[in-house]
Amino acid sequence: MPVFFPAANKAEQMVELIKKRTQNVRNELTSGITVALALVPEAVAFSFVAGVDPLVGLYAAFMVGLITSIFGGRPGMISGATGALAVVMVSLVQEGNAMGLAMAEPVADMGLQYLFVTVICMGMIQALAGVLELGKFIRLVPHPVMLGFVNGLAIVIFLSQLGMFKTMDQGISHWLQGPQLLTMGGLVLATMAIMVLLPRITGKIPAALTAILAVTALSLCLELDVATVGSFIRDGGGEGLKGGLPQLQSQLFTMIPWNLETFSFILPYAFILAGIGIIESLLTLNLLDEITETRGNSNRECVAQGTANIVTALFGGMGGCAMIGQSIINVNSGGRGRLSGIVAALSLLCFILFGSAYIEMVPIAALTGVMFMVVISTFAWSSFRIIPKIPRADALVLISVSALTVVYDLAIAVFIGIIMSALVFSWENALRIRARKRFKDDGTKVYEIWGPLFFGSTQMFVSKFDVKGDPNAVEIDFIESRVSDYSGIEAISSVVEKYEKIGKKVTLKHLSTDCKKLLNKSDKKYRTIIVEKIDDPRYHVVADPNSFN
């Protein structure tokens, strides 16, 4: 029978539902604004690294962030211009400028045009990877590699923020000293203290945004001599945050010479940037999946990232991918849906168009404090506890990926980590191949194979057989084994040929259907060697442990 609730209960449930949705929307809005503030110095800094104007990075943060927030596969994930891409782009821009100056009619800023075309190609590659459903392969990343990625990225974020403790003097960078250092450190600690203590008092006020506003107000009231967003941009060679709406780059297809030399120059960069962007985005997606206990769509994210990069390049952006620091700020501030990312992107555009004068007043110390809190929440502190307890090979992978992420870049670190894990897995499984030996009443020697037979275990498999010492009839039973690849099939063929050369008969039992097809295809003799119908029951008895080797 249907259960009817009193009208009063329904009204209370409706009120609770409205309150919950209202709170969620408020969290999304405040989280988006906080992320937008944190995006400004990051996008500007990465623009300087890539050797382009700050607006190129800001436009990328706006457009990539907006498109991926709407169409991406991971609600709550923030994308924009990143350092992992910028370090590759700097050489692209420099080489492009050199090629432009070497033309018959020299062009000084040709590197920027090459950058935009490369980012378009990068986006096409990423979108194609999503259409072909290659994003699912991110699941092959082992957990030690994931931990190493998280720890390495936390260290990279920390080291990047140390640059905020420097000042420019006549074009030379110097560490802050004396009162300036104390003031900067004090404001950073004040920001972190607010973010730690405020949630303990109330969870209704966004801690990160409150900390930024409070430290900004303190700096203005006391007229402190500290670096601000505006001074940071000008010290780096920019003219300020103020800009207009992004314009379609009509010069893209007129300035660049479309020939084989151009494609041979941009395509390697496009594949490298696409790979880095996909890896960083999908690993960030996996991390947010664990934090939020939900499941994102990796293939959809690849398509969204690719589409976003194509659009941003057409409108003068440097391209981008997922930003783990800002994504964690967003999630920790309550931004779990698409609205927070949309608000962050639109707020950033409003900063550029209307609020540049106010945003330039924000002390760099406040944003640095927020990023330090991101470092603390990102780093997997449990690594120190589990390293002594996990296998040494996994511990080595974890530490290696962390170190390589810091020394080189994310893509190299993850690739090497996966290769190391794969080699360890192959070696351990190669040692698991076993052969139990027994004799039938008619004198036939039976080899019962246990364990996986693949490229790593073929030599161990072949060594199990005493070809010369065995009787004239030999049976190889694969009921407890699985032939995994063509190397395993070749190993079986090699053993059979050795027995046949000296006139001995071999029978193969319990092979998989795929293995039978491949063997029969390679040689018709296997139609008689392989036993298709097996009627005899198998009785397991206690055996001498020495019969396994």
Distance from C-alpha of 118 to C-alpha of 95, rounded to nearest angstrom? 13
Predicted confidence (pLDDT) per residue in 356-415, tens digit: 888 888 898 988 888 888 788 878 888 888 888 888 889 999 999 999 988 877 778 888
Q: How many CB atoms lie within 10 A of CB 104?
A: 5
Whether pLDDT at 288 is above 60: yes
Whether pLDDT at 17 is above 70: no
Beta bridge mates, 167 = 174
Question: In the prediction, which pLDDT does 206 show?
Answer: 74
Between 12 and 284, the more confident residue is: 284
* pLDDT confidence tier of residue 96, bands split at 50, 70 and 90: confident
CB burial readout 3-40, b (16+ within 10 A) else e:
eeeeeeeeeeeeeeeeeeeeebeebbbbbbbbbbbbbb
Evaluate the CA torsion angle 381, 386, 392, 398 in order and state its sign: negative
Distance from C-alpha of 356 to C-alpha of 359, rounded to nearest angstrom? 5
Whether pLDDT at 191 is above 80: yes
What does the pLDDT average to over 119-130? 95
- List, in order of start, the domains of the chain with CATH numbers: 15-421 (no CATH), 431-547 (3.30.750.24)
Whether pLDDT at 127 is above 50: yes
* pLDDT confidence tier of residue 158, bands split at 50, 70 and 90: confident
Give Dmax over CA atoms of the chain in angstroms: 100
Distance from C-alpha of 549 to C-alpha of 539, rounded to nearest angstrom? 21
Between 156 and 21, the more confident residue is: 156
* pLDDT confidence tier of residue 541, bands split at 50, 70 and 90: very low
Winning range, highest mean pLDDT, from 216-220, 236-240, 373-377 = 216-220
Whether pLDDT at 546 is above 70: no
List, in sequence order, every beta strand (DSSP E) within 29-154.
Answer: 79-80
Question: In the prediction, which pLDDT does 22 show?
Answer: 64
Residue 11, φ and ψ in degrees, nearest 5: -65, -40
Distance from C-alpha of 352 to C-alpha of 59, rounded to nearest angstrom? 9
* pLDDT confidence tier of residue 189, bands split at 50, 70 and 90: very high
Question: In the prediction, which pLDDT does 542 show?
Answer: 40
Predicted confidence (pLDDT) per residue in 105-114, tens digit: 777 778 888 9
What the block records as the tokens of 451 is 């364990």
Q: Where are the alpha helices (DSSP H) in 293-389?
A: 298-314, 324-332, 338-353, 356-359, 364-378, 382-386
* pLDDT confidence tier of residue 544, bands split at 50, 70 and 90: very low
What does the pLDDT average to over 51-75? 90
**pLDDT over 70 percentage in the chain:** 90
Beta bridge mates, 80 = 321
Predicted confidence (pLDDT) per residue in 486-532, tens digit: 888 899 999 999 999 999 999 999 888 888 888 888 888 888 888 87
Question: In the prediction, which pLDDT does 537 show?
Answer: 46
Exposed, middle or buried: residue 389 (CB in 10 Å: 0-12, 13-18, 19+)?
exposed
Between 544 and 68, the more confident residue is: 68
Question: In the prediction, which pLDDT does 7 show?
Answer: 55
Mean of the per-residue pLDDT values for the chain? 84
What does the pLDDT average to over 179-197? 92
Question: In the prediction, which pLDDT does 192 show?
Answer: 93
What does the pLDDT average to over 6-34? 71
